Structure 1
Amino acid sequence: MERQQLDKKLSHADTAAVRSLLRKLKHSEYTIGWICALPIELAAAREMLDEEHQDLPQSPPDDNIYRLGRIGEHNTVIVGFPAGFTGSSQAARVASQMQTTFKSIRFGLMVGIGGGVPSRRHDIRLGDVVVSQPSNGHGGIIQYDFGKTRPDGFERTGFLNSPPTALLSAVASLKANRDLEKKFLRHLLKPTRPPWFAQNAGPDVLYCANYNHDRPGTDDCRECKTEHVEQRQPREHFIVHYGTIASGNQVMRDATTRDNVSKDLGGVLCFEMEAAGLMNHFPCLVVRGICDYADSHKNKNWQLFAAGLAAAYAKEVLLLMPAAEVETGSSAVELMNQNLKFNKVLGNIPTAVEAPFNARKREHDTACLPDTRVALLKQIYEWADGMDSPNIFWLSGLAGYGKSTVARTVAARCFKKGLSASFFFTKGGGDVGHAGMFVTSIAVQLANNVPDLKPVICDAIANNRNIASLSLREQWDRLVLAPISLFGTDQSSPTFLLVVDALDECTDESDVRIILQLFAELRGSHQTRLRVFLTSRPEAHIRDGIQHIPEVEHYDFELHGIQQSVVEHDIRVFLGHELRRISCEYFDGTDWPSAQDIIGLARNASGLFIWAATACRFVRTGRQFATDRLASLLNQSPTEGNTPEKQLDYIYSTVLKQSVPEDFSEKEKEKLRSMLKPLLGSIVTLFSPLSIQSLSNLMETCGNEVSQTLRDLHAIFDIPKEPNRALRLHHPSFRDFLLDKKRSGSAKFCVDEKQAHQSLSAHCMRLMSKSLKQDLLEIGRPGAPATEIANDRLERCLPAEVQYACLYWIQHTQKGGSQLRDDDQVHRP
């Protein structure tokens, strides 16, 4: 669209004669600020006004150009950027001047277009809308290009505030509205709207991330090759996505960089350039219509439609907010100060950062594929949405049956509708391996995910400064039950959903019993609408805890009780999906494997999804020998009487054997096994995962040696490319296999658990003796409180492996069966 045409549209009510007939209000009557960066965004915003108002005088320092009007009951100030100006600093300047002139503004909206980040987790399309919402420990906006360069990479610093509580409450209401699309369209399709306003811009084409635009400098992709187009299922309607938006001072126009930055940030939904300048100075919600994919194939075809949809969403948010509540609320400056206070309070209590289902460390964990677990998920969702459902849904199953995958799927679905909190236990996962931070982590998530709870929870923390040192029950009562009980239990009250995965992986059984007791008392002692979706293996102490809960208060479902044909169907779908990806990667998409191969593999899985997942990783890491590896798995059909555990043992044994190349001499094979066995023992008995480099330093080996030793074990371990990311097990069942001599002895890799702990204890003490000294942090005050130490200094002077040794040497000593005596090594300098 030519600039002259756009200018004409923008000036449809700008004649002095017309504007003099408009209503004129006072500065103090305006409570909402709406900020736009581009002319097309300003045009879309003005189309949302139900009534325009006369201009008002501005003080000389304020050179913004405003459009004043009413949206619903709210008198709104719309402001755009000066022509040619963009970026976060300009956004901060515009917002500051607006607040100087319109001192009664309570909060605002930053509305416009953005570049989407399509991923397996988020099916983002052109025309979709992205809304900033706190997630992954962030406030909803991350300034991805602000931080400092460290030896192990770029470290982002600073924290941007969350959107105001009132706006997040309106967003929560919109998320639950199934007729959202109809509501948007009513704002876009009015007869008075310009004809271009509600028209999409033709085909939605997403190119592979590694394929760049063929004609740099041009705005169309007519010469881009169609074979590089990503194949996606058609979708007729747009979707609203909620989560993290990445903000920077440059346009993102490279798909590889886009994906790398998103991965590093734990998964973002879109890129833009202004919001980072607002969040700590002007409380606002950021709404972006997706007009491109933040890659080299940028064009302007979708900008008008995307700007219109974003504006329609923003208007719908305002229509849900009662004007009386907005007018009597705090000003923008007061809200910012309050939010800073809340964030400081929440930052003062310890939490397990890896606990939520969408934590950065869990980014690659899978969810259920479409057309799998259909009946089960339907049952769970009906329980979650039902008015009179039991408080607890316990999903149990043996190792490898897919409990965590179901839990992630449920959490992701419910998160879009207002999931309250989640905690995914992981044995050997550090803070998520025990219950020490269970309640505090839940409380902080509740505060961030449920806006109305934030001030209540923050007050509870501020009034009990030692809350983190109290018992689990005291923490639960003060930080969880007391705040949510304020909402009551009538039908108009919200339902709070908590997802707790792998409770059996919590190391202390007594803590598990306490947690189950707390869940059991949900409806008895406290009037709340809190529901818990719980998964675990059917361990005796958990079964016993569940049995002590009245039957009407819990619903139990056993995964291993699902009909075999249903499970095999789901596993076939999974295998087909994963093996097709391998086929495209190594065999140019040829018809491999066959349908019969997939049926055979599904049968061999014996109902275990972890077998299927391990098999796919094993085949993938075979690269050009993928076909041979597939054949070896097909040749090992389960014999009569073979248990699923036996099948799992077989595939783990196969992976371990394949990690020792056949063309090695016997001497070389034995040497590799002697290197691999203690390494495996250390990995599966660590109390918290370490990176390859940190593990090497702890064990006094070369980092490259560890990488080479593990290079053929990607089927079992998540081995990151980034040097500072932790090495992790794909599934805890491998630990069970390796520590059980009856199961792994034949593979020559069985680990003696006690011996492994003794070895790690010795490594920890050696490292501490070598590394620890007076005034280690070089600040000249050896007794300074830890709270006064900057994180970068702590990390530089106390590397991860030294911190690990200080935290866990005593546990390794105890697990190794050693008795501490006077004059032991631990007492020697």
Structure 2
Amino acid sequence: MQRSPYSNDAYTVGWISASHDEFVVGMAVLDEEHGRPQSTPADDTNAYHLGRLSEHNVVMACLSGGQMGTGPAAIVAENMRRTFKNIRFALLVGIGGGVPAKTKDIRLGDVVVSYPTGIYTGIVQYDYGKLKRNGEVERKDWFCAPPRKILAAVDLLKAYHMRPKNPMNNMSHFIERLGEEYAYPGQNEDFLYQADYDHKSGSENCDACDESGLIARNPRSYPCRPNVHHGVIASGSMVIKSGVERDRINQRYGNSILCFDMEAAGLMNNFPCLVVRGISDYSDSHKNDKWRFYAVATASAYAKELLSHIEAIDVRVLPSMNEAELLNVVSQRIEKVDRNITENTLVLKKAEEDARKRNLYDLQMQCERWLRPPNMRQVQQTNTKKRLRGTCGWIWSNTTFVNWYTLDPSSNLDGILYVYGPPGCGKSILASYIVDFMSKIEVNSFLFAFSGAHASQRNLSDLLRSLIWQLLRVAPAEDAISVLQSLAVIGQLTTTELWTAFGTMAALVSEPVFCIIDGIDECEDTASELVEKLLHFLTDHSRFRFILLGRHRAFHAVNCARHTVEVESSLTEQDIETLIEAEISLSDTLNGANLRHEVTMALKQQADGNFLWIKFMLRHLDKSVGVADALERLHNLPYDLQTTYEQLLLGLVRRLEPSEIDLARKILSFIVVAQRPLTLDEFQHMLAADALSTSSRKDQSIDDYLIPRLDRRVLELQTYIRQFGKLTDPLQMLFRAIVRKASALPILALLLVAMFYYRVGREEDCLEILTVALEKVKGKEGPLQFLILESIASVYDQIGQHEMAWAHWAKALDGLEKKLGPDHEVTLFTIYLIGLRSYRLGKYTDALSSFMTVFSRHEKKLPRRQLDFYRHISYDTGRAYVKLQQYQQALPFLSAALSSSKKLFGQKEVNEPHKLFYMGITYWGLGQYMEALEALHKALGGLEKRYGEEHRNILFVQRAIALASLVSAWVPPSYSGYTLQWSDNFAGSAGTLPNSNNWNIITGNPGVNGELETYTSSNRNVQLSGGNTLQLVPWKDSSVSGGWTSGRLESKYVFTPSAGKITLAEADIRFGSNPTSAKQGIWPAFWILGNSIRSGTAWPGCGELDILETINGQLTGYGTAHCNVYPGGICNEPNGRGGSIAIPDQSWHTWRIVWDRTPSTWQSETITWYMDGQLFHRLTGSQIGDSNVWASLCHDPLYFILNVAVGGTWPGYPNSATLDGYGSMMEIAYVAVYTS
């Protein structure tokens, strides 16, 4: 065809088609054809067809080579803008996928026109944005709206189409002229299926699809007249073929999307453009090619009609494309400045708020040091632990209490409730229960307990200091602290001044507050004085309510008690029964069927609502020697609580009772006089006969005095027997005589003699006697054999022969497991001691096996009932893991040990520095150097207090701290024949961010690949380790959409592989030590993108080189190139061209990519991937076969990306076993670039 008679500057309107079919119909709309341009620049790859439509000279172009997507569209538009400099705007005309909805009756063949709606300019790029918590999308792009003149013409044409009388719509006339191929297919070919009903595979049409999946719609009155819809068109780089995905994207944009296409976003970034789409399908799997030509025709017909309503003069006064681009850039920069100002304001506000909070905290600590309030939290926690589940609930059924609690006080007398009862009736537990309950229903409640045993809980001053301190929780912080600061100037306040301060603080509170004050009878000041002060206080502070608990006598002088609750036995009867059942279930002596009922009934009858008496009596009964002794004690229970209290104060209850001491002495006596070893059965009957002979009861037999589980009682009395060391001279003479005929003596007599020798330091004689005893019980498993083996092991351990000790412990364990069972506490404790012996011998694996056996058999009991034992075994397990350098496994055990120590002893527990030391070593092994330093410094402080500054333990920890502070710096290696061009070895203090001159920290969700993570700039996700490494750490976080946060860096450094040289880029990388099975969904990567993506080139046309990717903890590294177009194309997107290699372990490995541009032709150039110098993938220019595509990978500027993604279409998504934190991190020692 001939060239146009007009110069390129004469053309003012652009028309762009995505496909050949669209281009053909576009030509047909012209009123006059001009042919080809007079000239085009050499680098313009477009083919143009020129003509006139109405009054406008129009330039038409089409995406070439069947390419689709935003990238090719952007190239066509940019070329058109440079060649035809006077173009004012462009039309993008073609087909799209509709998004039907109840409120949008979109049918096949309808037309959708991009039109500004809400916050959108008419086009959104759905695969580029930030997904917010509520599911909506925050745009990360900016698209030009069409010129106002064009939008005005759209509005005018819309009005013409909608006129109730004589609507003007010339679209059908044009479509008829195109011929039968473009005719309306008919309503019977327009099928809309449910979003989740997929097309039957293998069928080109929907004949095999079930009609039940169809959505019923009313037929249109004028089906041949296409409807025109105005609103948002969603543009992206992939074809949407899923109804579910279609609706999901639409929902993210507030259900504002009318249709999908693949080109609009590429044009409208810097190009004033109106997009017109004919609907050819519903963006689902039911694609229908029958509507393709008709949809092209309706879109072209609309565009033709629209231009006929726009005056040529109106177009010429619009700015040209270049001018429009300049205006758009200026607009964007102004908007960016506005955003920066807003962001900086937010940052400053946050910094100001953080500073305010820190200042408030410091002031609070100053106030605490001045007030010195007693620790009521500890009192509350102690009482809460004592309370049994299901008790104390009776208070909410008590009419007096409920009426008072729900009362709207009419006078200050209504502000106080008095709860009284005898000692031991559970008042203190009730007080803590009320506080716990109110806390759960979010009612402000304070607790104070008077106690004569604590100097800080004795008088009204102590009460007021506590209540003032607790008021800081609910009063406005700044105002409350200001009040306290003004008072602190005075110094220590008198009680009167404290009442004034309490009143001033209370005036700041706008919510109801309940103050529960226990132990009124233990207050040094009188209850009447307290009540008088409270009534005066309540006159001005009606929001406050007080519950006072104490013995009845405390309230005798209080004459104005309007609301009272007496803790009577009838109220607590159920709680008493719960306590008795719980305590008896823990007793071997009382839990038998023949005793349980009788004990329960007797205690219930005599308890009279007194919990303390119950506890003392159960402890007393539990010491019984046999059923008869238990019944005897039960029938003679003391009623005098005063006597019980005196015994408690003297500590007698916690010692061996006389009956136990008598039992031990009888056993030893029988051993010494016996002529042969006695069996347990013989022992039982001898002891029972002895008890029966001294009894005054005539109705009992010897069976009533048999001791149940005598073997257990012997083991329990072992402590007493071994400490039975106050031997008189006559007894020592007796022992010497016995030793001379040791082989003929009973076994327990031998043990008694062995213990004597052990106590006087004669270990060899002790071992000799114990060896004789062991020979006597050879082949006879039971408690005596265990006693002997345990004694031998202890002696060997004492004299340093640990191997021999360990061997005897193992023998003892074998016998115990057979006799007492594998889960018996004595068996488990023996296993633990064997583990300790293994640890001392350096057999750390054997030690761990022992410790973990105890945990697996006894785990449920350990934390609650034996906290002290639990902390020891947790500590020993943790340090054994440390010795084996299994730091991830050590961490939870050491943490549990520290937590248990603090619960038992607080911060001053003597072994805590050692636990902190091992915790520091563990953090060090995990690469968490900041945490390691903190733990080691704490350990150093504790050890210095214990040992002094010169002890060897101190020097060792000091060296560890020095090493942790000066971890060997990673330095990029030197390679012969190569020059280091750029590197970052991530030097800096632990917890700081990487060098901002080298890296951009990316934030937000990239909105690609279906990933879950939200990238942040927090040092929780991105931090320098302090040991010259960078750590990118994924964390679970329910506060962000997707439930995960992570870290991503992009280099500011940009490099280009040099022509005629070899360029290599590499990094040393390791992965966190979580088990690979616990990394489902974790996706670390070290990769490169073409820098052109930063200036608008779409992916994958910009080029991408993945140096390392690995997923789900699999020890496989992938190297991949992505290029050209999506989908398909030269690099077979989305798969790319790649290779893989097995990774030996999760430790440090060097990942390298090498560009070789030394060959004379680009086809011979190579890109090669290596791990630790081992080649695992290579790509050549000839394999790519396109010089431009190869240039995007090998000739053009590139930049680095480091990130840890979570979830996505490739790895899948995390499951319940997926762990977060440092164990799932990617750690980088350095990144470097070299050239030959």
Q: TM-score range by the shorter chain?
A: 0.3 to 0.5
Larger of the two Rg values belongs to structure: 2
| Structure number having the greater strand percentage | 2
Instruction: Give the structure-2-normalised TM-score.
Output: 0.27
Question: Of the two structures, which has the highest relative contact order with CA contacts closer than 8 Å and spacing of 6 or more?
Answer: 1
TM-score calculated relative to the size of structure 1: 0.40
